[in-house]
Structure 1
Amino acid sequence: MPCFHDVVIIGGGPAGCAVALSLLRSHPGASIVVFSDADPLRFKIGESLPPEAAQLLRYLDASLPSTLSTHLPCAGTASAWTSSSLEEHDALMNPFGHGWHLDRARFDETFRTAARSAGAKFSEARVTAIRRENDLWILESEADGSAVHSRWLVDASGRRASAARLLGLRTRKLDDLLAVHALFSSTSGTTEDRDTRTLIETCSQGWWYSALLPSKQRFVAFHCDAPSAKGAIRTRTGFLDFLHDQTNHLARIMGKHEYDFSAPDDGAPVGPQTTAACSSQLEGWQSQAYFVPVGDAALSFDPLSSQGMITALEMGCILGTELAANLIQLDGFSDERVIVERVTERYAEVWKHFEKSRKYYYSVQSRFDGDQFWASRRVNM
């Protein structure tokens, strides 16, 4: 027998759970199932949470802000962007306070626990097929062969946009930015790394990002165009050599605390990994009835903007509230096209703000104007 639900959400990360929590906050009787087939132990990029996010967490579940105490407070940002010297922005000067460097596995599981407690059901099965029949979405998965029927379908599966791809939709990329990243552990028995700032440093072929994690591991990522992410930099020795050749401040931290690649039993990959970090938009999703993408499945941002997590949470809150209004049939929200149009308008506003910010930050960096990476950023602006 098929299972009927008001809403099916593909993806059990912050975006999907924010939709579920926001919807159930406004409509506790709603029937929601979240398909979350991601490995909860696998390291996931997206370890920085801005201070403004605490308000959104409080809106979704009053207990969520207190769980941030298990993560590492971020002391601010240190950036060697417009010059070789560090420009520092202390969290004490932020009216919202400090942000956090997250244990993403723990953060995501806390979100899922809150959504379960609120009434959302979860499935670890992978959705294999999606079709629309008789004004309902029908989803098939690897679970037991039985189909799940729902009124609304939400794609919160991240950059892979798995639900959208099953529907034949594609994303439009603004660039080909990649992140070559790795986790490091200190081998120094005398100097403990206590620098909890977010560190950003430019070089001729791109820019570096680093953050200390609650595990005391240091996350390091080099952002570059696809051609620069080939060859030696994907090897352990090549990555370290490039880091020490191309950075000053980050190399100093890495040397001072004698960092080396984290061992596999620390939950880290063996060496450098490569992940898409480009800016992109899902196109044509408005043509699908009762379908909305959220988070990175809808809009993916250049990590320089620090916009991905906060936008996923904010849009999750907004979308959940509007879906609840549609299910309750409140005046002005009974037509699903109203929700699609409102979400589309909001995404356009977010993208416009992002592009303005992106253009500004890449334009003020002039030390490496003659290099291909930075020249291409000028062309794309």
Structure 2
Amino acid sequence: MPSEQADFVVIGGGPAGAAAALMLRRHAPGRRVVLIEAGRHDRPKPGEVLPAVAQGLLRQLGVWPHFAEAAFVENRTLVSAWADEPPGERHSMFSAHGAGWHLDRARFDRLMVLAAEAAGVEVRLGSAVHTATRENQGWRLKLADWDITAQAVVWASGRSWGLARHFGAKVTVHGHLAAYARFFDGTPGDYRMVVEARPEGWWYSADLPGRRRVVACLTDPDLGNGLRQADHWYRSLAATQFVARLLPAGAREIASLVKPAGTATIDPAAGERWVAAGDCLFAADPLSSRGIVHALRSGILAAYAVSDMLEGREDLARARYAMIATQGFQDYVPALAAHYAAAVRWETPFWQRRRAPPEKPATVSPAQVTHVSGKQEGIHETRHPGL
């Protein structure tokens, strides 16, 4: 079996992993950095709005020129039909940071990985890390037909915690949620993102590049089984007041997928010569709008942490990183609860659960996380011709 050695290995090629790899190259240009990504960023992903504040992070990482050239659709208005009141509109012209962007996530992720590769990161797509074993002062990572030894690891595999046991970490699930999304083309862009509360949960819709649009319903997995079926999903969409209006008669569905979207955290945030980043560290409810900004920031901070570990400041790096992660979660919990509490229109299970006192978080095994995230309940992805 071929074996390699590297100073740093980043597991995961999403925004957090790419940000960590890019920052490692900038911070420690003499070190060998290898990024390993299980997928190839060629499958549909739910569209996300990237706030304008992310421009500073993209500049810090050196990828702003590439991002600007990609010409993602601007997000000029957020329409929110949330509480018992007329829908509110928030226009980017009144923001100090300006307009954000509607992202094609697969395209954005490819852009970030290509930027990392151009910066000197060795990128391996289509390669999944199966095991991680402590070896000397570092880690040996085994893949299907090769392995690699790293002095330090950034673990940024998104909502995939299969390596938790290997790193001695525990996953805590704080809330369950799933996104039932469908993608359409032939939709004239209007530069708006719409969020609408409904009895079954909440809906959102946003423009994507190429006259495309994503529409999704967010609800609890045990309440969303019917939304897996196209006829049920479309009937629920038709009952919305605002989201349904965004799809013209000629819009054509080109893909659908269901993804876990609940809240989960890892403990510890960092261990012996490893650091978690992005959704792997803290997977947030999409309503919190943390998403990619959190991923980029945590990737940057993870790069500094593992660099400190190799420079003899391991205890300090772990403590500092854990403190930042804890503070971020403590700020998130009350803010998310307050946002859900503002929607008081319905006495349905979804909303009753969010008005009740929060349940004690459950610490679970990676196998249980797979179950609660929906993969064993039939959460799937379907590609259609034309995507």
TM-score (norm 2): 0.87
Within 1, Cα distance between the matches of 2:49 and 2:204?
A: 11
> How many residue pairs were aligned?
356
Within 1, Cα distance between the matches of 2:350 and 2:63?
A: 44
Within 2, Cα distance between the matches of 1:35 and 1:114?
A: 15
Within 2, Cα distance between the matches of 1:31 and 1:67?
A: 28
Shift, 1:325, TM fit: 3.9
Q: Any idea what SS the aligned residue of 1:29 has?
A: coil
Shift, 1:68, TM fit: 5.5
Shift, 1:238, TM fit: 1.1
Within 1, Cα distance between the matches of 2:5 and 2:104?
A: 35
Change (3 A) 1:23 1:380: farther
Residue 227 (structure 1) aligns with: 222
What fraction of aligned residue pairs are identical, expressed as a percent? Answer: 31
The 8 Å contact of residues 201 and 208 in structure 1, kept in 2 or not, is answered as yes
Q: Any idea what SS the aligned residue of 1:158 has?
A: coil
Which of the numbers 313, 327, 352 marks the counterpart of 2:296?
313
**1:113-132 to 2 correspondence within 5 Å?**
113-124=114-125, 125-132=127-134
TM-score (norm 1): 0.88
Q: Any idea what SS the aligned residue of 1:39 has?
A: coil
Within 1, Cα distance between the matches of 2:280 and 2:151?
A: 20
Structure 1 unaligned runs (5+)?
187-191
Residue 189 (structure 1) aligns with: none
Residue 249 (structure 2) aligns with: 258
Residue 27 (structure 1) aligns with: 28
Shift, 1:65, TM fit: 5.9
The structure richer in strand per residue is: 2
Within 1, Cα distance between the matches of 2:200 and 2:53?
A: 32
Shift, 1:194, TM fit: 2.8
Note the aligned Cα RMSD (angstroms): 1.9
Residue 294 (structure 1) aligns with: 277
Within 2, Cα distance between the matches of 1:172 and 1:216?
A: 39
Q: Deviations over 1:313-335 (max 9, x none)?
A: 011112213333443x2xxxx22
Change (3 A) 1:36 1:354: same
Residue 184 (structure 2) aligns with: 184
Change (3 A) 1:356 1:22: same
Q: Any idea what SS the aligned residue of 2:56 has?
A: helix
Shift, 1:166, TM fit: 4.7
Residue 378 (structure 1) aligns with: 355
Structure 2 unaligned runs (5+)?
359-387
Change (3 A) 1:51 1:349: same
Which of the numbers 137, 140, 143 marks the counterpart of 1:141?
143
Shift, 1:261, TM fit: 4.8
Residue 36 (structure 1) aligns with: 37
**1:206-245 to 2 correspondence within 5 Å?**
206-231=201-226, 233-245=227-239
The 8 Å contact of residues 273 and 309 in structure 2, kept in 1 or not, is answered as no
Within 1, Cα distance between the matches of 2:275 and 2:37?
A: 17
Matched, 1:363 2:341: yes
The 8 Å contact of residues 269 and 325 in structure 2, kept in 1 or not, is answered as no
